[in-house]
Amino acid sequence: MSLSATRAPSPPAPPPQLPPRRLRSKDRFSRFDLRVSPYVFIAPFFVVFGVFGLYPMLRTFWMSLHKWNLTVPERATFIGLDNYAKLLDDKWFWNATFNTLGLFLVATIPQMLLALFIANMLNRGLRWRTFFRMSILVPNVTSVAAVGIVFATLFQRDFGVINWILHFFDIEAIDWRNRRWASWTVLATMVDWRWTGYNALIFLAGMQAIPKDLYESAAIDGANRTRQFWTITMPMLRPTLIFVVIVSTIGGLQLFTEPLIFGGETSGGGILHPYQTLALYMFENGLVQYSRAGYGAAIGGMLFVMIMIFSLLNFLLIRRSVR
Amino acid sequence: MNASSRLWRASPLTYIALIIGVLLSVYPLYYMVIIATRSLDSINDVPPHFTPGGAFGDNFDRVLAAENANFYTGLINSVIVSSVVTLSVVFFGTLAGFAFAKLRFRGRNALMLTILVTMMVPTQLGLIPLYDMMFRFNLQGTLLAVILPFLVSAFGVFLMRQYTSQAVSDELIEAARVDGCSTFRIYWSVVLPAVRPAAAVLALLTFMEQWNSVLWPYAILNAENPTVQVSLTLLSFAYYIDYSMVFAATAVATLPLVLVFIVFGRQIIGGIMEGAVKA
């Protein structure tokens, strides 16, 4: 690179010595190249995303208006909003909605607070800086499947390490799998173990972009660390905060793999479904029972609306509360 | 060093808190190694073990023998899928990143914004139609079905745009043009060599993401032709779980990535934080 850099300021446009005809065709090519190449370069993204990302998502809405069997798609019949009407009467849909929103809150709120706390600690003059950053990011390199398997075992009722630790505090062995709050605790732990460090690093990146002299003048004015955090760090971090919370909302409301592995083969989120999420319920309705694909698509549609509402709510909330 | 760094020095309490954080981050992985290297009956021992054993070989033999999971096929498939997707994401990411950073064209800003917005689209909700699409193309159960939807990444385009705009000077590109290079030639011989560090980070992040992905491969593949994560998921779905066996498989699926991460961690962290600042 440095080699070509030194060669860079070559003499401006050499005098035209080529025969005129060739120049013209070359000229035409280069004009075409200049005009079209940018679009050719960015086209693959839009084509692939359009075909495999956007189109299926929009088609979810279309399918949700039909009685649709994946094995005989040609016999799909238009039924308007019937699937949605049926959903509103489906107690398992409401159960899954409750689980999804509950799990999202139980997992996300502690995760955000903890990530902010860790980022704030990492944003100091530290020794072993890289070691700390890498250690908190290691969980994010672990696959969700591995996380699910390991934590399900740590929280196993009879020989799990967690129950063993709890017995020192005279707490009886908890059946983590079959009670709602207990299973939510396990799932929230899985999510937070994997994502807290990652989000802490994103927050840290945002914190480091804040000019240091703001803190210096605040310190001269007598503001202590805590005050500095609330009056400088938090307001300046607002764009990062909005970004992280919205991304976590979108991811959190689509929770799938953790409850799938925790529940085992049934894919139903436990006996009596104490942790069946909407994504699991959608999977079960479209991809386990092919004949209910339209209904499954309607669950996807509802989830989409929920994600939009929650993202907007979070956006407004953070914009108002942190200024 | 100076006044400001003294102002920011961490207290011993900070170190204690961070070390607790490190232990909590690392312990589950260590626990994975313990169970993976101990014999099946030791899982029931109370108190639990805190040191690795020597039974990994036996445990892993049982993984390879497990017929419902095809773990070995899964490993190879995951290498194929992750490599192909990584090459593609890096190629199209650097290409589009170059266009957005250095070329002038109508609608550039609007199109870049569109790409950023697509990062927020919950594409997982298209699961059922995507599945249907793959069935119509008769691609269910094939690696192509797992690869196709992930050939490009919005994050990749964004990251490469950020890096290209600062790492490649406009004069350099102009000079190459004057020398008669086509735009693609400029990309190939001027831009690509200059953006190698960021491209390497993108490659690592993409490889890890693909290696770890579960939902879509689990939906579209089957036990005969799984990825490694699908194998793991299937192994964990037993009524009586052979824990040492499942953990041996989990360790083999996880630890190579952890090693890669330890070697390139500094660069990966740089990439994640770089991508975050301007987002």
What pLDDT does residue A44 have? Answer: 97
Percent of chain B whose predicted confidence (pLDDT) is above 90: 73
- Give the confidence band of B3 by pLDDT, cuts at 50, 70, 90: very low
How many angstroms separate the CA atoms of B145 and B33, rounded?
33
In chain A, which residue's Cα lies nearest the Cα of B46?
A159
Q: How many Cβ atoms sit within 10 Å of the Cβ of residue B248?
A: 29
SS3 state of residue A8: coil
Question: What ipTM was predicted for this assembly?
Answer: 0.90
Among A18-32, A257-271, B126-140, B192-206, which stretch is predicted with the lowest mean pLDDT?
A18-32
Whether residue B27 has pLDDT greater than 90? yes
Q: Is residue B169 a contact partner of residue B232, using CB atoms and an 8 Å limit?
A: no
Q: Give the ranges where chain A is alpha helix by DSSP (H).
A: 2-7, 20-49, 55-64, 82-88, 91-122, 129-141, 144-154, 161-167, 180-208, 212-220, 225-228, 234-236, 238-252, 257-263, 278-283, 293-321
Query: What does pLDDT average to over chain B?
Result: 91
How large is the average pLDDT for residues A79-104?
95
In chain A, the percentage of residues whose pLDDT exceeds 90 is 60
pLDDT at A317 over 80: yes
Closest CA to B214 of A146, A139, A257: A257
Q: What separation, in Å, do the N-terminal and C-terminal C-alpha atoms of chain B show?
A: 32
Q: How far is B9 from chain A (nearest CA, A)?
A: 4
CB atoms A8 and B172 under 8 Å: yes
What pLDDT is stored for residue A322 in this prediction?
Answer: 67
Percentage of chain B surpassing pLDDT 70? Answer: 96
CA distance B3 to B217: 54
pLDDT digits (tens, 9 = 90+) for B184-225: 999 999 999 999 999 999 999 999 999 999 999 999 999 999
Q: Which residues in chain B touch residue A146, judged by CB atoms under 8 angstroms apart?
A: 32, 232, 250, 253-254
Per DSSP bridges, beta strands A66-67 and A77-78 are antiparallel
Segment B225-238 mean pLDDT: 93
pLDDT score, position B235: 92
Torsion angle of C-alpha atoms B150, B156, B158, B160, degrees rounded to 10: -150
pLDDT at B8 over 80: no
Task: Give yes or no for B14 touching A (CB within 8 A).
Answer: yes
Q: Do A256 and B124 touch (CB under 8 A)?
A: yes
Q: What was the pLDDT predicted at A17?
A: 52
Task: Enumerate the domain spans of chain B.
Answer: 70-228+249-277
**How close, in Å, is residue A68 to chain B by CA atoms?**
11
Q: Which residue has the higher pLDDT, A83 or B42?
A: A83
Split at pLDDT 50, 70, 90, the class of A24 is low
Q: Which two tokens stand for residue B34?
A: 């313990």
Task: Classify residue B141 as exposed, middle or buried by CB count within 10 Å of its CB (0-12, 13-18, 19+).
Answer: middle
What is the least distance, in Å, from the CA of B30 to any CA of chain A? 10
Confidence of residue A9 (pLDDT cuts 50, 70, 90): very low
The Cα of A223 is separated from the nearest Cα of chain B by a number of Å equal to 12
What are the pLDDT digits (tens) for A251-281? 999 999 999 999 876 656 777 788 999 999 9
Is a pLDDT exceeding 90 seen at residue A49?
A: yes
Mean pLDDT of B80-106: 97
Angstrom distance (rounded) from CA A89 to CA B220: 30
Residue A302: pLDDT above 70? yes
Q: Which residues contact B236 (CB under 8 A, 6 or more apart)?
A: A145, A148, A149, A152, A261, A264, B246
Of B25, B132, B154, the CB nearest to A73: B132
SS3 B46: coil
Name the one residue in this structure whose structure tokens are 């043009």.
B177
Among all chains, which residue has been given the structure tokens 């909003």? A81
pLDDT reported for residue A224? 86
Q: Which residues of A touch B32 (CB under 8 A)?
A: 146, 150
Q: Grade residue B277 by pLDDT with cuts at 50, 70 and 90.
A: low
What pTM does this model have?
A: 0.88
Q: In the structure encoding, which two tokens stand for residue A250, read together? A: 């979108």
Given a contact cutoff of 8 angstroms between Cβ atoms, the answer to whether A49 and B154 are in contact is: yes
Residue A142, Cα to own-chain centre: how many angstroms?
16
3-class secondary structure, B9:
strand
- Helices then strands, each counted (H, E), chain B: 15, 0
Residue A294's CB is within 10 A of a number of other CB atoms, namely: 26
Query: Residue type for B58, please?
Result: D
Sequence-ordered list of residues with C-beta below 8 angstroms from that of B137, at least 6 positions apart, any chain: B145
Q: Is A67 on the interface with B (CB under 8 A)?
A: no
- pLDDT at position A5 over 80: no
Q: Name beta bridge partners: A125.
A: B9
For residue A12, pLDDT beyond 60: no
Output the average pLDDT for chain A.
88
State pLDDT tens for residues A115-140.
999 999 999 888 898 899 999 999 99
Sorting pLDDT into bands at 50, 70 and 90, what band is A243?
A: confident
The answer to whether the CB atoms of A148 and B172 lie below 8 A apart is no
What is the set of domains in chain A, with CATH numbers? 21-64 (no CATH), 82-321 (1.10.3720.10)
Distances from the Cα of A278 to the Cα of A80, A100, A268, angstroms: 22, 6, 10
Could you report the per-residue pLDDT of A67-78, keeping only the tens digit for each?
999 988 888 899
Cross-strand pairs, A77:
A67
Helix (H/G/I), strand (E/B), else coil: A78: strand
Q: Do B214 and A143 touch (CB under 8 A)?
A: yes
Long-range contacts, stretch A207-216, CB < 8 angstroms, 24+ apart: A207/A119, A207/A120, A207/A123, A207/A233, A207/A237, A208/A123, A208/B273, A209/B277, A210/A236, A210/A237, A212/B4, A212/B8, A213/B4, A215/B4, A215/B7, A215/B8, A216/B3, A216/B4, A216/B7
Give the H or E element holding residue A66: strand A66-67
Reported as type and span, the H/E element at residue A168 is none
Residue A267: its pLDDT value, please? 58
pLDDT for res B1: 39
- Give the residue-averaged pLDDT of A95-123: 95
CATH class of B70-228+249-277: mainly alpha
Residue A7 above 50 pLDDT? no
Residues whose CB falls within 8 Å of the CB of residue A254, separated by 6 or more in sequence, listed in order: A279, A303, A307, B122, B124, B125
